[in-house]
Structure formats: C-alpha cells, structure tokens
C-alpha cells in the first residue's frame, strides 16, 4: 500500500519505508544503517555506535544559529507481537500496513508506531528546509523495548543539548514530565525430572483470548495476565494435601483432590507486554479423567466470570495431549505453582501525588520450561528507584524460599516528575494557544529513556509528547492518522519558538 494520500505526507512516507525493514529489539542494524545512509545523503553528520544507536546533528535554521542545541529523541526498535495463526517472521518480513478509518494498523501484528512514528518525524525534520529550529541533536536508540540497552550504553559526551523532546508518548493531549523506573528480572527455578509412572494420561491447559497490552501504560486497566491465570488454574487442580487451607478448599469444592503432575509450562512473548496466552502440559492417573474434566469446567467458568469485564474473550481449555517421557518432581511442581500465584502481579501501589497514576507494579511477562529450570521473567516498575527496589526485594525473598535464582538483567532509572519544568511550561502555553484548552500534564507508569538522560546529563530539562496510539505492544496497536498530523504541526510550530 501507499500512504501518499494522507497527511503528514513525508512523516508517513518515512514510516512506511522503515516498516519494510524488520526492527525488533536486538535486530536494529538494518534500520540503523538505512537511516545513517539517508542522513549522509543529506550531507549531515551522523554517529553510529557499536549498538547501532544514532546521533544525528542538524545545524540551526537561519536566524537560530546562536540558540542552544535541542535534543529530539526516540527509539528504533519495536515490540514484535502477532496473533495466533498469523504467518509473519519478524526477522525477515515487512509489516503489512493498512488504513482502517482514521487509524493506521498492521495486519495481524504490532504496528511499530511505538516508536517508529518518532523516527519518521525525525527523518522528516532532517530533510526539511522550511522548518524553523535551533541546532538539533537527534538521538535514535536501540533495544528500548527489551531493557533500554542502547540508551544505557550511549556516549553522552557527544551531546551538548540540555533541552530535550522525547517523542515516545502516545496521547496527543498530554505532556509527560516523569516516568517509572523499570527492572527486567529472571526468576529461574531449578527442576528435577522423573518418569510419569502411573500418571500416564496427559492434558493440555490453554489460556488464550486475553486483551494484553503494555505492561506499564495499560497495567492500571487490570487486564488479565495469562501466566497468572494459568498459575491460579494449576493451583486449583493441584492437591497439596499437606496444607490446611487446601483441605478446607477441597471441602468447599474450590479445589480438587486429584493428584496431578506437571510436564511443562509456557506463556507470554515479551516482558513488557501483558501476556495474552499461556499453557501447561499436565498428567493424571487415567481413572481421574472424568473427575478432572468436570472440576475444570467449573473452574474455567469461574475464571471467565472473574475477568468478564476486562477480558470478555478469555478462553481456558483442557484437551487431551500426547504423552511426555518426563514430568516435574512433585516438590518442583509445588514450588512452580506457588511461584506463579505468589509473585507480585499487576498494580501494587497507586500514587498519592497524582490521581490515577500507578506507583508500583510487576508484570509476569514470560514463562519458559528449559532443560534444567523453569524461567519466569518479570518487569517491576515504580515511580521512584527506592520503591522499585522494594518490589525487587519481595521477589527476591520468594526466590530464596523456593530455591530459585533471581537475576537482574537490566535496570533503567526513574525520571522524577518535575512540575516546574521550563520546557513543560513553554509547551503548555503553546498548546493552549493552538488548541484553546489546557493539555494534560502528568507522569506515566511506563518506562521512558528520559530517566537515563537525566542521570547522564545534569540539568537537562525534558518533556515527552507524541500522537495518539492505542493498544501498544499488541496486534491491535493502531495510530491515529489525524493525530499524527496535528502533533507534527504542533512540533514544527514549537521548534520555531525554542529560542
């Protein structure tokens, strides 16, 4: 398709071009090379580092030569999620874009407007000859969606600017002036295997049909987490006869006294996406098959009722499966199930300072069975580094009790909310002058790279903005085309006011 009939034309032209280049996290070389070549063809200076981060310098427009440099920042990578049954290889295939009313979407996959629209706007600015602006330092980072590795390893000595516009927000009517700290943590539970023995009949439990979403931006919507639901389902059918509470729940009909074994578990794709699907392979004694199915049907109906408001298409099924030649030991299965139901999940604290803002959360984002362990990948977030460390400590204590190894693979700092920001005040005045109403000024629970810039460039003043994008990190991701046009116009205007 072509987007040449839609505004902003040059922005959408560049977005369509980079959508032909696979650019999932860790696979950004090709798109980085493409933009570097584009920049050099314009005669502009570009620095490409070993991680394929780009720093591009554009001299000031006429009349703005004496102004301080301004940093514009976005990221090159995208979250790669697709619907079940969609035949798309994110390492090779271009995105299949299409227009749906006012929205730009990708068929069966994430769109990558997060944050490809920022990249496209920066490219349009680089080639423009009719837009007033101070000297620009455009920073396009890699690996943002998988832990912000690009920004964390950026050479900040190459930047002179102490004013920055981050273009990684998704509400055109809001200016962001703070974001959460984030951690990627691997919880690895060692396992021992044994032969199934008399547990010879196998079933697959599948959880699917959930809405999912961004693990920071959508966590407040309290949508179901497929991995957590799988854990609760396993807990309901797992007979831990050693505990008084399980005995009581069995008497109440909330649990079954069937003995099961667990052969494998899996779920989720990306730690920063609320998982939409998860499954487990379990084994039982053949004589318990009918009893299991009857109990499971009741449990499935109960789970659907619990999530009916947020996830009306939730489906939890139990189907016969091919046998496995090994299962987890009973002790390992118990530790696994306890971990899945006791790991912090979802919203943990709400802010006392900003109404409606999540203060702390944890997303159980991915679940994988390996040969010697079961790996659960989590992403705690919080509005301060100290509060995030509290969640990390809680997960660590559970790991100590279960014998799991707990490893931090990535950390990004918080960007503390700054209501006195000069950039924020300037943008608020410009927005009201253009639209006749006040913009929403807030912080977000999602992670932005702004905290890393704050840590490395003392005194920097940052604001984050962007066009409206819905359902980020899911195959339902969609960009409002009219919003992109309005935000582009506003950005061009405000650049001319940056004196």
DSSP per-residue string spanning 198-243: T--EEEEEEEE----EETTTTGGG----HHHHHHHHHHHH---TTS
Query: What is the CB neighbour count within 10 angstroms for residue 154?
Result: 22
pLDDT interval class at 239 (50, 70, 90): confident
Same domain, 70 and 207: no
Secondary structure element (H or E) that encloses residue 387, with its range: helix 385-402
Q: Are 375 and 229 within one domain?
A: yes
Quick check: 115 and 170 in contact, CB under 8 A? no
- Give per-residue pLDDT as tens, 73-132: 999 999 998 998 899 999 999 999 999 999 999 999 999 999 999 999 999 999 999 999
Give the H/E segment covering residue 17: helix 9-18
Q: At 494, which helix (H) or strand (E)?
A: helix 481-496
Alpha-carbon distance of 462 to 163, in angstroms, equals 6
Does residue 146 surpass a pLDDT of 90?
Answer: no
CATH number at residue 53: 3.40.630.10
The maximal CA–CA distance of the chain, rounded, in angstroms, is 84
Within this chain, do residues 46 and 70 fall inside the same structural domain, yes or no?
yes
Taking alpha carbons only, the member of 246, 278, 276 closest to residue 264 is: 278
Is 243's pLDDT higher than 70? no
Domain assignment present for 4 = no
- The per-residue pLDDT for range 318-356, each reduced to its tens digit, is 999 999 999 999 999 999 999 999 999 999 999 887 888
Q: What percent of the chain has pLDDT over 70?
A: 97
Is 166:74 a contact under the CB 8 Å cutoff?
yes
Report the share of the chain in percent with pLDDT over 90.
Answer: 83
Q: Compute the distance between CA of residue 361 and CA of residue 350 in angstroms, rounded to an integer.
A: 9
Domain count, the chain: 2
Residue 77 annotated among the catalytic residues of the structure: yes
Do 397 and 331 share a structural domain?
Answer: yes
Predicted TM-score of the model (pTM) = 0.76
Provide the Cα torsion 447, 448, 450, 455; round to 10°: 40
d(CA 403, CA 429): 55
CATH number at residue 388: 3.30.70.360
Q: Among 389, 412, 435, which residue terminates a domain?
A: 412
pLDDT per residue as tens digits for the range 246-290: 666 666 666 677 889 999 999 998 888 899 999 999 999 999 999
C-alpha span between 344 and 362 (Å, rounded): 6
- Same-domain pairing of 243 and 348: yes
| Residue 205, preceding peptide bond in cis (omega within 30° of 0) | no
Residues 110 and 72 in one domain: yes
Secondary structure of residue 302 in the 3-state scheme: helix
Local confidence band at 23 (pLDDT 50, 70, 90 cut-offs): very high
Average pLDDT over residues 411-416: 89
Domain stop point among 412, 441, 472: 412
Give the whole-angstrom CA distance, residue 213 versus residue 470: 9
For residue 123, give its domain range: 9-179+415-496
Point out the domain boundary residue: 390, 412, 434.
Answer: 412
Residues 397 and 440 in one domain: no
State the pLDDT at residue 240: 67
Residue tagged active-site, from 28, 114, 143, 144 = 144
Chain-centre distance of CA 454, in angstroms?
A: 21
Catalytic residue among 77, 81, 137, 188: 77
- The confidence score (pLDDT) of residue 486 equals 97
305 shares its domain with 291: yes
The torsion of the CA quartet 254, 259, 262, 266, rounded to 10 degrees, works out to: -10
Q: For residue 409, what pLDDT is reported?
A: 82
- Alpha carbon separation from 327 to 145, 232, 236 (Å, rounded): 34, 19, 19
Quote the pLDDT of residue 252: 63
In the residue annotation, 186 being an active-site residue is answered as no
pLDDT the model gives residue 253:
63
């Amino acid at each position: 398709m072509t987007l040449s009939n839609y505004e902003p034309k040059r922005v959408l032209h560049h977005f369509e071009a980079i959508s032909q280049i696979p650019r999932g996290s860790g696979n950004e070389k090709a798109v980085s090379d493409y933009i570097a070549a584009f920049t050099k063809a314009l005669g502009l200076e570009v620095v490409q580092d070993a991680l394929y981060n780009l720093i591009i310098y554009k001299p000031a427009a006429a009349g703005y030569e004496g102004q301080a440099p301004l940093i514009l920042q976005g990221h090159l990578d995208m979250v790669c999620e697709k619907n079940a049954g969609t035949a798309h290889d994110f390492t090779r295939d271009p995105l299949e874009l299409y227009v749906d009313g006012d929205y730009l979407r990708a068929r069966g996959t994430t769109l990558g407007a997060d944050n490809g629209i920022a990249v496209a706007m920066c490219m349009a600015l680089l080639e423009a000859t009719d837009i007033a602006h101070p000297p620009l330092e455009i920073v396009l980072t890699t690996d943002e969606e998988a832990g912000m590795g690009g920004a964390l390893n950026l050479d900040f000595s190459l930047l002179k600017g102490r004013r920055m516009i981050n273009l990684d927000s998704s509400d055109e009517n809001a200016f962001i002036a703070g974001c959460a700290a984030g951690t990627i943590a691997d919880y690895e539970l060692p396992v021992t295997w044994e032969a199934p023995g008399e547990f010879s009949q196998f079933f697959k439990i599948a959880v699917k049909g959930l809405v999912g979403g961004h693990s920071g931006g959508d966590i407040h919507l309290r949508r179901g987490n497929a991995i957590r639901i799988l854990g609760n389902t396993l807990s309901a059918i797992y007979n831990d006869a050693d505990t008084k509470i399980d005995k009581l729940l069995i008497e109440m009909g909330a649990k079954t006294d069937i003995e099961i074994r667990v052969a494998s578990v899996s779920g989720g794709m990306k730690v920063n996406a609320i998982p939409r699907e998860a499954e487990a392979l379990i084994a039982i004694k053949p004589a318990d098959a009918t009893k299991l199915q009857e109990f499971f049907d009741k449990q499935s109906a109960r789970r659907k009722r619990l999530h009916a408001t947020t996830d009306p298409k939730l489906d939890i099924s139990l189907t016969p499966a091919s046998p496995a030649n090994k299962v987890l030991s009973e002790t390992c299965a118990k530790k696994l199930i306890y971990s899945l139901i006791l790991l912090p999940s979802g919203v943990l604290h709400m802010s006392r300072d900003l109404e409606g803002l999540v203060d702390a959360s944890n997303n159980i984002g991915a679940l994988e069975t390996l040969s010697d362990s079961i790996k659960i990948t989590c992403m705690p977030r919080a509005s301060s580094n100290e509060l995030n460390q509290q969640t990390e400590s809680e997960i660590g204590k559970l790991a100590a009790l279960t014998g799991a190894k707990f490893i931090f693979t990535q950390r990004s700092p918080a960007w503390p909310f700054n209501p006195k920001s000069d950039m924020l005040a300037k943008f608020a005045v410009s927005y009201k002058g253009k639209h006749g109403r006040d913009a929403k000024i807030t912080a977000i629970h999602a992670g932005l790279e702004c905290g890393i810039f704050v840590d490395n460039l003392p005194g920097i003043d940052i604001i984050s903005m962007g066009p409206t994008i819905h359902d980020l990190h899911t195959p339902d991701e969609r960009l409002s085309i009219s919003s992109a046009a309005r935000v582009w116009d506003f950005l061009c205007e405000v650049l001319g006011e940056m004196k």
